Structure 1
Amino acid sequence: ALASLALVVAEDLGAALARHSQLAVTAQAAVQSVAARAHGDLVRMAELLKACFLVGGGLRRTPEGRLRLSLHLISGEDALYLWSLQEDLEAQPASGLLDERIAAWAAEVDLQVSVAWARRQHADGAGDDARDLVRDANSALFARGWAEDSVRAALDFYRHAIAVDPGHALARAQKAIVMALAGNMGLLPGAAARAEALSEAEQALELEPRNSEVLGYAGCALADLGDPRRALPFIQRAVDTNPGNPQAWAALGATQLILGETERGIEQLQRGLRLSPDDYRRPVWYTLLSGALQRLERLDEAASAAEAACRADPRFWPARIVRAGIELERGHRAAALAALREAWHIRPCLSPEELRVWVRKRRFEALLAVWREARPLTPS
């Protein structure tokens, strides 16, 4: 029974990975055939499959009767472990839960492959392939956090990718959402930047109108650029095309929040987080979730989501602002002050205008007073 389940997990994980447009994934039947010929030699197996990376793992029973899954990303050129995951499941996991976990594992493998590939390209001095440049752009934000310099670096990679391959729809879609989010955060101001983001989103949708990733990113960009009703059908199509796409679910939730559908927005954001619990985009999703829960006066849950956003990325300063606003509403002024001081430490140029983006209107003046107290002393 365990061997049969392992085969199902391997097959479904391969299919889930294949839905990520940046990855070319070998069919599981071919992998099994080559594995038999390679006799455990992973480097030879990768050579025969013409694969840069291998995904391996196993299932076993724990002494408590649960299932323990291990998952590894392995370099094809030297059989070194690049990343590993271990997770315990129920002894007989429900089909729906297993599907959800497989989608989450696929999203995490996709991220880890992007990071590993960017490191390899950097070490080799390569970088003229559009797909590699998109991975470099993602790594710039993942490694350095949201700030003016990291946004500029990511946009340079996206522009280079588009120059290399003007038909690369995902580069345009990701560039659009990064520009839209950065503009809303105050990191990329100006009407010209918004117009460029809108143009890239429109072109991405024209190039790849059926690709889930492109639909999710470009649709979310349209919503963040001020047109959520037009964005909604594109994002819904992204979810319908690939229900395992966590970004599409998060984009759907964020768009529903903009439209005032708070309960539904919370549900979809939570689904995106369940599908990709270790995603590098978690800080943004948790911060949006926290604000939505605060809107419904579910302050304890909102505080937990804000804390999760802070843990997910120690450099994501908007999460500290949202957390400060929630703590102030809960009557915890000292905690609000501490959160704002953390935001100041991460972003010394933090302004009241940036504060206003993340705080409820009726609480802005109260938080502004705490902000003035939190502001570090400067020489006169």
Structure 2
Amino acid sequence: MQAGSVAEGPSIAVRPFKVLSESRELEFLAEGLAEDVIALLARVPGFFLISRASSFLFQNPETPASIVARQLGVRYVLDGSVRGAGPQVRVSTQLAEAATGRILWSGKFEATRAETLELQDDIARGIMIELEPALTQAQVNVIRRQRPENVDAWGCYHQAAGALGGKGWNELVVTEAQNFLRRALELDGNFALARAQLALLSALAQNTGLVEPSAERTEEARTTAEMAIAADTGSSEVLGYAGCALVDLGNRERGVEILKQAVEIDPSNAQAEVALGAALAMMGDLDAGIARMRHGIRLSPRDRRLAFWGWALGGFLLRANRPEEALEEARIAARRDPRLYLPAILEAVAQAALGRTELAQCALMSARRLRPELTRQEIERSHGRHAAKILAGVWDAN
């Protein structure tokens, strides 16, 4: 879905809930509540939910719904706020028709702080009553998301995400992110999401050549992924990261099983959908895998991980003997994150496969400018032996 186009059916973006009180505890609650509403709505047939990774970029409540809708391609925007009043928590929500700004539905909910996990059920039901009367008979299963007991652990997790989203992809970035995640686990040993992300980072670092693959690293990452799954089997995000890690570590059947569970719990989980598509492509079903990856990317049109996903998609298009499409994805990924060197390698491989040697040389030079340490061995790990072979002559010319 391109920005500016509206998805078929009732498409919704849920923005972060604004906190109207000075309270880290309420900030934590507001973020979890908005995520739970997304997960609940995603399970209801007939709705198209934009992933939180894109909708949560619109933190400013003053941003008009029309702008959010135009950039995300949705018809409706849900906003909310959380206010503390002693032992009580008050949540206000409103659903706006994006094109006109007209408020279609609003609701106010109040509970004690201990009862706030029940709020998302009422909010989701109110939205469904307004948008899709036929869905009011559907059974809505409340999804519980495990949160770390220590808010500082959540802060470390966000610092890891910030490192990955703002500094490219290299050894220093991966090490910094891993250190933040390890610190989060020191603060809260039950923080499954941090553990799953840690496992995935280890797998990706090995598969892209940033660290030397080893049986010890692989087993440690696999154990970390399984521990995350055991700690929170109901979290789509945990399962998405851990399942992807297992696939990348070579345990593909187990990884696909976990990724399917992640998508079943939350069909708007773009990361799990992309990872499941990549896994299917790895296992030989290129057409189905590519289609799922495209759908996952469509779910989150403003995601910070789009460049990485687009690069991976382009790699499978190349395997499917669709070099022109692979080239287009490589260029889009490079525009999305100019610091990421992997799309430049992919462009070089695609250009070489199309017989455009000079253009392949230019693309490879760009990759080496972004990553001076780049080696042929890294290219073989990240893009496969066939791609490395295609680039052999181009590499020598550089």
TM-score normalised by length of structure 1: 0.69
**Cα distance in 2 for residues equivalent to 1:256 and 1:21:** 36
Q: Tell me if the contact between 2:306 and 2:336 (Cα under 8 Å) persists in the aligned partners.
A: yes
Q: 2:44 aligned with 1:23, yes or no?
A: no
The percent of aligned pairs where both chains have the same amino acid is 34
Aligned partner (choices 208, 226, 237) of residue 202 of structure 1: 226
Q: 2:154 aligned with 1:131, yes or no?
A: yes
- Corresponding residue of 1:305: 329
**Cα distance in 1 for residues equivalent to 2:29 and 2:307:** 23
TM-aligned CA deviation for residue 257 of structure 1:
1.5
TM-aligned CA deviation for residue 55 of structure 1:
7.5
**Cα distance in 2 for residues equivalent to 1:240 and 1:68:** 24
| Counterpart AA for 1:239 | V
**Cα distance in 2 for residues equivalent to 1:67 and 1:258:** 32
Q: 2:210 aligned with 1:187, yes or no?
A: yes
TM-aligned CA deviation for residue 364 of structure 1:
2.9
In structure 1, runs of 5+ residues without a counterpart are 1-7, 28-51, 61-65, 77-86, 90-94, 100-126, 375-380
Question: Per-residue displacement from partner, 1:205-232 (whole Å, max 9, x unpaired)?
Answer: 0000121000100000000000111111
Q: 2:257 aligned with 1:256, yes or no?
A: no
What SS does the aligned partner of 1:24 have?
A: helix
What SS does the aligned partner of 2:347 have?
A: helix
TM-aligned CA deviation for residue 235 of structure 1:
0.3
**Cα distance in 2 for residues equivalent to 1:150 and 1:73:** 34
In structure 2, runs of 5+ residues without a counterpart are 1-9, 19-27, 36-58, 68-72, 84-97, 101-127, 133-149
Aligned partner (choices 339, 343, 350) of residue 374 of structure 2: 350
- Corresponding residue of 2:311: 287
**Cα distance in 2 for residues equivalent to 1:254 and 1:218:** 14
Aligned partner (choices 141, 151, 154) of residue 174 of structure 2: 151
TM-aligned CA deviation for residue 15 of structure 1:
10
| Counterpart AA for 1:370 | V
- Corresponding residue of 1:211: 235
Q: Tell me if the contact between 2:11 and 2:74 (Cα under 8 Å) persists in the aligned partners.
A: no
**Cα distance in 2 for residues equivalent to 1:340 and 1:224:** 25
TM-aligned CA deviation for residue 16 of structure 1:
11
Q: Tell me if the contact between 1:56 and 1:72 (Cα under 8 Å) persists in the aligned partners.
A: no
- Corresponding residue of 1:220: 244
Which of the two has greater helix per residue?
Answer: 1
Alpha-carbon distance change, 180 to 360 in structure 1, aligned in 2, over 3 angstroms: closer
Question: What is the root-mean-square deviation in Å for CA atoms of aligned residues?
Answer: 3.8
**Cα distance in 2 for residues equivalent to 1:221 and 1:68:** 34
| Counterpart AA for 1:249 | E
TM-aligned CA deviation for residue 332 of structure 1:
1.2
Q: Tell me if the contact between 1:59 and 1:69 (Cα under 8 Å) persists in the aligned partners.
A: no
**Cα distance in 2 for residues equivalent to 1:184 and 1:271:** 24
- Corresponding residue of 2:45: none
Question: Per-residue displacement from partner, 1:119-147 (whole Å, max 9, x unpaired)?
Answer: xxxxxxxx971111111001001110110
* Superposition pairs of residues 324-335 of structure 1, within 5 angstroms: 324-335=348-359
| Counterpart AA for 1:303 | L
TM-score normalised by length of structure 2: 0.66
- Corresponding residue of 1:171: 194
| Counterpart AA for 2:31 | L
**Cα distance in 1 for residues equivalent to 2:385 and 2:362:** 21
Q: Tell me if the contact between 1:337 and 1:371 (Cα under 8 Å) persists in the aligned partners.
A: yes
Question: Per-residue displacement from partner, 1:42-80 (whole Å, max 9, x unpaired)?
Answer: xxxxxxxxxx975763349xxxxx999899999x9xxxx
**Cα distance in 2 for residues equivalent to 1:88 and 1:212:** 31
- Corresponding residue of 1:13: 14
Question: Per-residue displacement from partner, 1:77-133 (whole Å, max 9, x unpaired)?
Answer: xxxxxxxxxx989xxxxx9xx99xxxxxxxxxxxxxxxxxxxxxxxxxxx9711111
**Cα distance in 1 for residues equivalent to 2:391 and 2:217:** 30
**Cα distance in 1 for residues equivalent to 2:264 and 2:395:** 43
**Cα distance in 2 for residues equivalent to 1:67 and 1:280:** 19
Q: 2:248 aligned with 1:241, yes or no?
A: no
* Superposition pairs of residues 19-168 of structure 1, within 5 angstroms: 23-25=31-33, 54=61, 57-59=64-66, 129-168=152-191
**Cα distance in 1 for residues equivalent to 2:345 and 2:278:** 18
Q: Tell me if the contact between 2:376 and 2:388 (Cα under 8 Å) persists in the aligned partners.
A: no
TM-aligned CA deviation for residue 355 of structure 1:
1.4
**Cα distance in 1 for residues equivalent to 2:80 and 2:340:** 27
Question: Per-residue displacement from partner, 1:329-370 (whole Å, max 9, x unpaired)?
Answer: 111111111110011101111111011124453453341221
**Cα distance in 2 for residues equivalent to 1:26 and 1:72:** 9
**Cα distance in 2 for residues equivalent to 1:299 and 1:21:** 46
**Cα distance in 2 for residues equivalent to 1:176 and 1:26:** 26
Alpha-carbon distance change, 259 to 57 in structure 1, aligned in 2, over 3 angstroms: same
What SS does the aligned partner of 2:178 have?
A: helix
TM-aligned CA deviation for residue 281 of structure 1:
1.2
TM-aligned CA deviation for residue 297 of structure 1:
1.6
| Counterpart AA for 1:334 | E
**Cα distance in 2 for residues equivalent to 1:175 and 1:67:** 33
Q: Tell me if the contact between 2:17 and 2:31 (Cα under 8 Å) persists in the aligned partners.
A: no
TM-aligned CA deviation for residue 13 of structure 1:
2.1
TM-aligned CA deviation for residue 190 of structure 1:
4.1
Q: Tell me if the contact between 2:17 and 2:80 (Cα under 8 Å) persists in the aligned partners.
A: no
What SS does the aligned partner of 2:302 have?
A: coil
| Counterpart AA for 1:13 | V
Q: Tell me if the contact between 1:56 and 1:71 (Cα under 8 Å) persists in the aligned partners.
A: no
Q: Tell me if the contact between 1:57 and 1:71 (Cα under 8 Å) persists in the aligned partners.
A: no
Q: Tell me if the contact between 1:128 and 1:164 (Cα under 8 Å) persists in the aligned partners.
A: no
TM-aligned CA deviation for residue 372 of structure 1:
2.2
Once the two structures are overlaid, the 10-residue window that deviates more, 362-371 or 219-228, is 362-371
**Cα distance in 1 for residues equivalent to 2:198 and 2:30:** 15
What SS does the aligned partner of 1:357 have?
A: helix
